[in-house]
């Protein structure tokens, strides 16, 4: 995939980010949210990531926002501060073209610049998330854990896998 450019998110992106994220909230198990986010929820996430000094980037193709990624708190307690959880979502029609890899590599690169040492992906262990698991594998994440039946969505119990990439040199 060529022609994809990255830039930091702004609150002008909120509506487009919600279009992307809420599609997955309402149609898939890749996120454990059960209700669509409001503009206030997304603006709060943008502000929270900025306050952490972590990257929140969007991918654009021909001027259109086609995906986004950010790093945010993995666990609240202070000793976890150099470990971040990554999140990324593509506009549905943009999946399967290599854009996810570019976006993930870029947010991880920016995380390293911001002092992140370990990046954790918490991924639903369902067929919906097969692309995500494969993507993280290809991008150098290793499977480090698995939890069963920790979520209930669409009347099904859902587990997660944890994948980790170390940025320590
Ligand atoms: C997960 C996501 C970011 C991956 O990005 P992408 O651009 O679609 O993926 P890529 O084209 O870079 O391909 C990554 C890998 O997934 C595989 N893949 C892509 N689409 C797939 C699909 N629908 N089913 C199974 N595997 C798929 C690719 O073959 C590739 O695997 P490989 O490296 O072993 O060949 C994107 O599909 C997406 O936004 N999905 C919905 C939201 C989501 O799951 N977010 C992650 C939450 S943890």
Please write the tens of the pLDDT for every residue from 83-124.
Answer: 999 999 999 999 999 999 999 999 999 999 999 999 999 999
Ligand 1 pocket at CB < 6 A: 24, 30, 88-90, 95-101, 121, 123, 129-132, 134-135, 138
Q: 127, 131, 134: which to mutate for ligand 1, most atoms within 8 A of CB?
A: 131
User: 152 in a domain, yes or no?
Assistant: no
Q: Is residue 15 classed exposed, middle or buried when 0-12, 13-18 and 19+ CB atoms within 10 A define those classes?
A: exposed
Q: Which of 90, 37, 87 is nearest to 59 (CA)?
A: 90
User: 159 in a domain, yes or no?
Assistant: no
Taking the mean position of all CA atoms in its chain, how far away is CA 128? 15
User: 168 in a domain, yes or no?
Assistant: no
Q: Angle at the Cα of 146 (from 167 to 151), degrees rounded to 5?
A: 115
**Domain containing residue 30:** 4-119
Q: pLDDT tens across 30-74, in order? A: 999 999 999 999 999 999 999 999 999 999 999 999 999 999 999
User: 130 in a domain, yes or no?
Assistant: no
The structural domain count of the chain equals 1
- Structure tokens belonging to residue 1: 């995939």
Q: 6, 71, 100, 105: which to mutate for ligand 1, most atoms within 8 A of CB?
A: 100
pTM, two decimal places? 0.96
């Amino acid at each position: 995939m060529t022609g994809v450019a990255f830039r930091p998110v702004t609150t002008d992106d909120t509506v487009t980010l919600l279009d992307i994220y809420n599609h997955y909230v309402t149609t898939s198990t890749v996120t454990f949210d059960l209700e669509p986010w409001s503009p206030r929820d997304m603006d709060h996430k943008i502000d929270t990531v900025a306050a952490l000094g972590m990257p929140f980037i969007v991918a654009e193709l021909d001027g259109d926002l086609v995906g986004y990624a950010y790093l945010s708190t993995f666990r609240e307690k202070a000793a976890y501060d150099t470990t971040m959880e990554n999140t990324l979502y593509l506009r549905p029609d943009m999946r399967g073209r290599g854009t996810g890899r570019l976006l993930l590599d870029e947010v991880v690169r920016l995380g390293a610049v911001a002092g992140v040492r370990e990046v954790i992906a918490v991924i639903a262990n369902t067929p919906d998330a097969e692309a995500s698991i494969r993507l993280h594998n290809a991008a150098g994440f290793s499977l480090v854990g698995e939890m069963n039946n920790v979520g209930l969505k669409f009347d099904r119990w859902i587990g997660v896998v944890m994948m980790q990439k170390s940025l320590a040199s």
